[in-house]
Chain A
Amino acid sequence: MEKFELFDRKTQAIIYGFQQAAIQRMIDFDYLCRREIPSIAAVIRPTQDAAIAYHKVFWGSKEIVVPVYKTLQMAIKKHPNADVMINFSSFRSAYPTSKEALESDTIRTVAIIAEGMPERQSRHLLKIAEEKDKIIIGPATVGGIRAGAFKIGNSAGTTENIILSKLYRPGSIGFVSKSGGLSNEMNFMIAQNTDGIYEGIAIGGDRYPGSRLVDHLMRYEANPKIKMLVSLGEIGGKDEYDIVNALKSGKVTKPLVIWVAGTAAKILPSGLQFGHAGAMAGSDMETAEAKNKALRDAGAIVPDSYEDLDKRIRETFEKLKQEGKVTPIEEIEPPEIPIDFGDATRMGLVRRSSDVIVTISDDRGDVPTFAGVGLDTIIRESKSIGYVIGLLWFKRELPEFAQQFIEIVVKLTADHGPAVSGAHNAIITARAGKDLMSALASGILTIGPRFGGAISDAAKYIREALQKGMQPQEFVNYMKDVVNINIPGIGHRIKSVQNPDVRVQLLKEFVFKNFQKHPHLDLALEVEKITTSKRNNLILNVDGCIGITFLDLLENLDFSPEEIEDVIYSEALNGLFVLGRSIGMMGHIFDQKRQRAGLYRQPWDEILFSE
């Protein structure tokens, strides 16, 4: 690569900052230009944990990966061929990161995108660049483009724009401006009026740009493929006088069309700061008029106003053509870039079947909704936990009595002391130093046919009996002779007819008072009469009562028989037990953790060792 070139079709850059959109746009440009290798060698993402990660980008319709490093140092070492760094870091860290790149052996060009770098920092950087014979583009710029070869970051916008401005192949105009926004406007204007851009750079609107307009114009002057120069200057600073001097001393010989913006300043309040930091005239010399005049006097082609810029560019180019100084370009067709799936979907061009259907909640809006009810409403109207369970488990607003029933069940099942298998497992696991989630899971995993299982089994068999129209005695016999197990939900170790379980009494009272019908409970109580006549502790226990009254609850809601079947099939009853008991198990886990209880080991005297 000649010294006057910054980029060619083999140039690779290191991107500082994980700018996914800019990265993809650069790679799309590469594909459009039919580059052989992508223009990005590596990305630096200082916030990541991994030393090296990988980022997927599209190369046409295929995917390729770009390595993402934690440090610039590592990227430079692994990619010695990358001689450009595009620095997207913020104004706070743009200085140290750019300095590191400039001081490296391999990076030759640094583009600084951040706006608001302190002027002294910019000046220190440009001094380093000068000493090391390196180039800074920026700060406060979008960068630039070498048509058909290399594009800095977001320069030149979308693929559509690149095609309209023919930036996928070189023309013969060298362009440089202060403004990044206008550079893209100029890319298009130049394409409309000439054979297009060869290279276009935006140096940024700061007072101390790392490279100046004249630096790039001198490169273009030296480049035999560039036939004509176009530039846009701005009010403020004296950099345009370097161009005047270059014209006067014959260092710039190619036709130069240039306009210095900011002529309006004369009628505006003195000292008005335009959008760019450097755009304020500190002296008469720095006004746009003075600069335009000096440039015109030195031989540049300066329009009377920006309005005529396109005409001057066209005229100048036509003249070069007539003089035979530009050779016609053979137009090429750039490859098509496939449209992004997201864009295509938005435009209604493609459709894709979804993978999951969700019917209970939606978090896409401002406020999450549960079965259509906004979470804000639930909070504002002080809805109960039973209400929320109704929405998320049964997709409906449950009546008051049903909410209360659910909460009673949650309370009744919340804990049953430390000795039952769930709490015991949770305690042991917590004491083994495991985290909350592991300890809770180990407790929950004991819930099944033996522990907590009586609830769902009691419901299952009573339901079967009722559906088959069995008489109480018939059911007792069926359980004994056919199923061949003790009736689930019947029997208690201590409690008896004479010493009833108060929990069962309360639940029954609630059901009798609030449920219009309770056929399952009625049948169960008939069965209890038979069993207690055999032994006085064969009473309906709390597990059985919960399972059976839950069936009655469903009978009292506007559930169809098919829906009731679905509720039972979906294990909602187990859900209630898991929900309630998790409260207690977590309590036990917190209790052990608070005490910093040590590892549990079952004492030998609890174990019989035997052959």
Chain B
Amino acid sequence: MAQKNIYEYDAKKLLASQLPKYYPKFEYHDKLAIVQSDTDLNQLISVETWIKSEKLVAKPDQLFGKRGKANLLLLDANFDEMKQFCRNNLDKVFEIGNVRGELNRLLIEPFIPHEKEYYVSITSDRENDIIHFSFEGGIFIEENWDKVYHIPVPLGIDINTFDLLSKMPDLGDLKDILIPFIKALFQVYIDQDFAFLEINPFAITGDKKIVPLDVKARLDDTAAFLHQDTWGNPDNPIEFPAGFGQKSTIEEDRIRDLDEKTGASLKLKILNKNGRVWTMVAGGGASVIYTDTVVDLGLGKELGNYGEYSGNPSREHTEIYAQTIIDLITENPDLQGKPKYLIIGGGIANFTDVKVTFTGIVSAIKNSVDKLKKANVKIFVRRGGPNEKQGLEMMEKVGKETGIPIEVFDRYTHMTRVVELIKKAEEGKT
């Protein structure tokens, strides 16, 4: 629940459908197609006939930029060249920045011959939405950042009555195109609950039409319920893809599904499947602090996951969450038989019932006794909150009954001290 990146394809489609509401002259070609390894090109060209007849651009649509520098930008190509480009690159592994990932999504659109590239973006802070505009768009934007206009528009101001022109005095003849375009873009940004929108670059064609070339955007996904007629349609919601190289796993998908079904919060991100330190921490804030402490104490390389559960999840949901993490920690026992550590941590809850949530965790432990022993998992528990006594006693008991080493700490032990204990155990070992 936050600001989420969307595909360039989806961003352009959204602009194509929304911009003409405020800027009827925005005659965007709306010719966009996605090619993936399983795309049937013959079928695609039967729908998108322009692909055969026009000059094309092809580029990755996987949330990373600087595609020209990575040699992943095909310009002014015909259909055959485009096919060749797709064949050469799809499903291949690339290193972008420091991230390795598979390329599996290419955006195809018509090639627009142009001389000059412009920059526009919109961002937000507490009091303003801010328009950023520059004549020096494209790959030169960063080195020319000092030439960018930054025009804050205070929240609640009607952009139509806002004197944008006086803030960008040197538009010259282009003002009749640019001012209404930027104002319309601003309207769409606000209307559709964008959190970030960048068109870098856009071109102005010979017949004075504006064409967005590259688009990056983030939406505020909490606003989905306000946009059921556009991107928030519950039957066909817009996709919020993970970053390049960050494919979500089945386990992460399962927890995300569960999270969406309940009023409580359940989050899971796998960092290192072979990690030996895993966390099952209650609370959005506490989970960050546990993660910090694991890293601060030098165990970062061994950290298996980031996650949290909070908002008083039911016993059943907590059990599924716990089982998922136990399955992950026990999936690959350490080759040298070194112990693995599971931190069942948390602060002192306001209203999450410790007994109820721990009942779920305890049944997951009981279901996994053999696995946990085989993977040599040691469990450290620290928690407080409603029914803390019963919850912690339950944990002690399941440890004794099953023989799984479970150390249990209550509110009188500093929240993250269990991490120190793990570190000490590790130092004793090595």
Which of A262-270, A404-412, A475-483, A551-559 sits within the interface? A262-270
Q: How far is the CB of B27 from chain A (nearest CB, A)?
A: 29
Interface check A275, CB cutoff 8 A: yes
Is A288 touching B306 in the complex (CB atoms < 8 A)? no
The one of B284, B300, B419 in contact with A181, judged by C-beta atoms closer than 8 angstroms, is B284
The one of A116, A155, A270, A271 in contact with B222, judged by C-beta atoms closer than 8 angstroms, is A116
Which of A182-190, A348-356, A530-538 sits within the interface? A182-190
Identify the closest chain B residue to A277 (Cβ): B2
Identify the closest chain A residue to B225 (Cβ): A92
Is B195 touching A188 in the complex (CB atoms < 8 A)? no
Provide the residues of chain A in CB contact with B289, threshold 8 Å: 182, 261, 306
Max chain B Cβ within 10 angstroms of own Cβ: one of A178, A189, A269, A310: A269
Is A306 touching B265 in the complex (CB atoms < 8 A)? no
Task: Known contacts A268-B306, A307-B416; decide if A180 and B287 are in contact (CB<8 Å).
Answer: no
Total cross-chain contacts (CB, 8 A): 192
Q: What's the tally of chain B residues with a CB closer than 8 Å to chain A? A: 63
Q: How far is the CB of A208 from chain B (nearest CB, A)?
A: 6
Interface check A272, CB cutoff 8 A: yes
In the bound complex, what is the Cα–Cα distance between A103 and B293 (angstroms)?
44
Identify the closest chain B residue to A279 (Cβ): B288
Task: Known contacts A123-B155, A164-B411; decide if A157 and B386 are in contact (CB<8 Å).
Answer: yes
Is A307 touching B2 in the complex (CB atoms < 8 A)? no
Interface check B274, CB cutoff 8 A: no
The one of A115, A179, A185, A263 in contact with B384, judged by C-beta atoms closer than 8 angstroms, is A185
Is B384 touching A262 in the complex (CB atoms < 8 A)? no
Q: How far is the CB of A136 from chain B (nearest CB, A)?
A: 12
Provide the residues of chain A in CB contact with B193, threshold 8 Å: 118-120
Is B1 touching A277 in the complex (CB atoms < 8 A)? yes
Task: Known contacts A119-B220, A157-B351; decide if A178 and B285 are in contact (CB<8 Å).
Answer: yes
The one of A22, A275, A277 in contact with B288, judged by C-beta atoms closer than 8 angstroms, is A275
Which of B107-115, B197-205, B342-350 sits within the interface? B342-350
The one of A118, A158, A179 in contact with B386, judged by C-beta atoms closer than 8 angstroms, is A158
Q: Which of B288-344 contact A (CB under 8 A)?
A: 288-289, 291-297, 300, 303, 306, 308, 310-311
Provide the residues of chain A in CB contact with B348, threshold 8 Å: 157, 161, 184-185, 187-188
Q: How far is the CB of A394 from chain B (nearest CB, A)?
A: 39
Task: Known contacts A123-B155, A275-B284; decide if A263 and B1 are in contact (CB<8 Å).
Answer: no
Interface check A305, CB cutoff 8 A: yes
Interface check A117, CB cutoff 8 A: yes
Interface check B373, CB cutoff 8 A: no
Task: Known contacts A179-B283, A269-B246; decide if A208 and B126 are in contact (CB<8 Å).
Answer: yes
Is B155 touching A185 in the complex (CB atoms < 8 A)? no
The one of B127, B226, B295, B411 in contact with A263, judged by C-beta atoms closer than 8 angstroms, is B295
Interface check B148, CB cutoff 8 A: no
The one of B156, B269, B349 in contact with A272, judged by C-beta atoms closer than 8 angstroms, is B269
Task: Known contacts A161-B384, A185-B415; decide if A263 and B292 are in contact (CB<8 Å).
Answer: yes
Provide the residues of chain A in CB contact with B291, threshold 8 Å: 264, 268
Interface check A156, CB cutoff 8 A: yes
Provide the residues of chain B in CB contact with A232, threshold 8 Å: 285
Max chain A Cβ within 10 angstroms of own Cβ: one of B243, B306, B351, B416: B351
Task: Known contacts A118-B226, A188-B384, A270-B243; decide if A181 and B350 are in contact (CB<8 Å).
Answer: yes
Interface check A235, CB cutoff 8 A: yes
Is A184 touching B296 in the complex (CB atoms < 8 A)? no
Task: Known contacts A118-B222, A182-B347; decide if A261 and B414 are in contact (CB<8 Å).
Answer: no
Task: Known contacts A115-B265, A124-B156, A182-B289; decide if A307 and B420 are in contact (CB<8 Å).
Answer: yes
Identify the closest chain B residue to A126 (Cβ): B126
Q: How far is the CB of A27 from chain B (nearest CB, A)?
A: 15
Identify the closest chain B residue to A164 (Cβ): B411
Is B350 touching A275 in the complex (CB atoms < 8 A)? no
Interface check A257, CB cutoff 8 A: no
Q: Which of B211-242 contact A (CB under 8 A)?
A: 220, 222-223, 225-226
Q: How far is the CB of B219 from chain A (nearest CB, A)?
A: 10
Max chain B Cβ within 10 angstroms of own Cβ: one of A118, A127, A275: A275
Max chain A Cβ within 10 angstroms of own Cβ: one of B195, B246, B348: B348
Is B292 touching A264 in the complex (CB atoms < 8 A)? yes
In the bound complex, what is the Cα–Cα distance between A275 and B220 (angstroms)?
16
Q: How far is the CB of B142 from chain A (nearest CB, A)?
A: 14
Interface check A582, CB cutoff 8 A: no
Q: How far is the CB of B267 from chain A (nearest CB, A)?
A: 5
The one of A116, A118, A270, A276 in contact with B285, judged by C-beta atoms closer than 8 angstroms, is A276
Is B282 touching A181 in the complex (CB atoms < 8 A)? yes
Provide the residues of chain B in CB contact with A306, threshold 8 Å: 289, 292-293, 296, 415-416
Q: How far is the CB of B180 from chain A (nearest CB, A)?
A: 23
Q: How far is the CB of B366 from chain A (nearest CB, A)?
A: 21
In the bound complex, what is the Cα–Cα distance between A182 and B306 (angstroms)?
17
Q: Which of A263-305 contact B (CB under 8 A)?
A: 263-264, 266-280, 288, 304-305
In the bound complex, what is the Cα–Cα distance between A181 and B350 (angstroms)?
6
Q: How far is the CB of B235 from chain A (nearest CB, A)?
A: 18
Identify the closest chain A residue to B194 (Cβ): A120
Is A263 touching B2 in the complex (CB atoms < 8 A)? no
Provide the residues of chain B in CB contact with A276, threshold 8 Å: 284-285, 288
Give per-residue flags for B268-292: 1 if the beta carbon is below 8 A from chain A beta carbons, else 0: 0101000000000011111111011
In the bound complex, what is the Cα–Cα distance between A287 and B169 (angstroms)?
37
Q: How far is the CB of A154 from chain B (nearest CB, A)?
A: 4
In the bound complex, what is the Cα–Cα distance between A279 and B296 (angstroms)?
18
Interface check B65, CB cutoff 8 A: no
Provide the residues of chain A in CB contact with B415, threshold 8 Å: 185, 189, 306
Provide the residues of chain B in CB contact with A185, threshold 8 Å: 286, 347-348, 384, 415
In the bound complex, what is the Cα–Cα distance between A518 and B139 (angstroms)?
104
The one of A161, A266, A269 in contact with B271, judged by C-beta atoms closer than 8 angstroms, is A269
Is A182 touching B285 in the complex (CB atoms < 8 A)? yes
Is A307 touching B293 in the complex (CB atoms < 8 A)? yes
In the bound complex, what is the Cα–Cα distance between A267 and B297 (angstroms)?
13
Interface check B78, CB cutoff 8 A: no
The one of B124, B126, B271, B411 in contact with A268, judged by C-beta atoms closer than 8 angstroms, is B271
Provide the residues of chain A in CB contact with B368, threshold 8 Å: none
Q: How far is the CB of B413 from chain A (nearest CB, A)?
A: 11
Provide the residues of chain B in CB contact with A161, threshold 8 Å: 348, 384-386
Q: Which of B342-390 contact A (CB under 8 A)?
A: 346-352, 384-386
Task: Known contacts A154-B350, A264-B295, A307-B420; decide if A278 and B2 are in contact (CB<8 Å).
Answer: yes
Is B306 touching A181 in the complex (CB atoms < 8 A)? no
Provide the residues of chain A in CB contact with B295, threshold 8 Å: 263-264, 266-267
Q: Which of A550-607 contact B (CB under 8 A)?
A: none
Is B306 touching A272 in the complex (CB atoms < 8 A)? yes
Q: Which of A449-476 contact B (CB under 8 A)?
A: none
Provide the residues of chain B in CB contact with A119, threshold 8 Å: 3, 124, 193, 195, 220, 222-223
In the bound complex, what is the Cα–Cα distance between A269 and B292 (angstroms)?
14
Is A307 touching B288 in the complex (CB atoms < 8 A)? no
In the bound complex, what is the Cα–Cα distance between A269 and B252 (angstroms)?
15
Task: Known contacts A118-B220, A305-B296, A310-B414; decide if A181 and B283 are in contact (CB<8 Å).
Answer: yes
Interface check B87, CB cutoff 8 A: no
For the A-B complex with A21-B351, A305-B292 known, give 9 more contacts whose Cβ atoms are closer than 8 Å: A123-B127, A179-B284, A181-B285, A234-B288, A277-B1, A278-B2, A279-B288, A306-B296, A310-B414
List 21 A–B pairs whose Cβ atoms lie within 8 Å, in order of A's numbering. Answer: A115-B311, A118-B193, A118-B223, A119-B220, A154-B351, A181-B349, A184-B347, A185-B347, A189-B415, A207-B3, A263-B292, A267-B300, A268-B271, A268-B306, A272-B306, A278-B2, A279-B288, A305-B296, A305-B297, A307-B419, A310-B414
Q: Give residues in B with beta carbon < 8 Å to A.
A: 1-3, 97, 99, 124, 126-127, 155-156, 190, 193, 195, 220, 222-223, 225-226, 243, 246, 265, 267, 269, 271, 282-289, 291-297, 300, 303, 306, 308, 310-311, 346-352, 384-386, 411-412, 414-417, 419-420
The 10 closest A-B pairs by CB, nearest first: A179-B285, A275-B284, A185-B347, A181-B283, A118-B223, A277-B2, A182-B285, A264-B295, A154-B351, A305-B296
